[in-house]
Amino acid sequence: MQQTKTNTFPRRQRLKSRKKLQEVFSSGNRIYSGTIKLLYLAEAADKPEMLCGVGTSSRYFKKAVDRNRIKRLLREAYRLQQQPLKIKTGPTNTRLLLFFLYTGKELPVYADIYKQIAKALQKLAKSIT
């Protein structure tokens, strides 16, 4: 018996294209949730797709270890909470390009990140429909 994996975040779902990243930053919409800034762009597409990227500033976090930890926390919180948004955007055939930015100045706690990403994704679901 094979189990379906719903909470995965494979490479094909990551936003890595420089061109698409520039598009999201220049003409995308913004949602703020505490120390998380969500930049998103919704496009018409043949099939529903969600691409996501994460980042943080090297201005406040000089050590790469700290930046990588924050990005790991952001990815994990998104991975666990992406399913309701996927279900909502499924029938509409839209491609969602998401980018989560951590804008805080101190190292975050996972519980705070989880709550803020949940709030940002709820706001996004409301604004898309």
DSSP 8-class letter at 14: B
**Per-residue tens of pLDDT for the chain, all 129 residues:** 455 567 777 788 889 889 999 999 999 999 999 999 999 999 888 888 899 999 999 999 999 999 999 999 999 999 999 888 888 877 778 889 999 999 999 999 999 999 999 999 999 999 887
How many CA atoms does the CB half-sphere of 117 hold within 13 Å?
A: 29
In a domain, 110, yes or no: yes
Query: In the chain, how many domains are there?
Result: 1
In a domain, 95, yes or no: yes
Are 70 and 104 in contact, with CB atoms under 8 Å apart? no
In a domain, 3, yes or no: no
Handedness of CA 84, 90, 21, 26 (dihedral sign): negative
In a domain, 1, yes or no: no
Identify the CATH number of the domain in which residue 44 sits.
Answer: 3.30.230.10
Q: How many helices (H) and strands (E) does the chain have?
A: 4, 4
In a domain, 2, yes or no: no
Domain enclosing residue 105, as ranges: 12-128
pLDDT in the model for residue 92: 79
Has this prediction a pTM greater than 0.85? yes
In a domain, 57, yes or no: yes
Across the strands, what pairs with 34? none
Distances in Å between the alpha carbon of 45 and those of 50, 66, 91, 95?
Answer: 11, 36, 11, 6
DSSP 8-class letter at 59: T
DSSP 8-class letter at 115: H
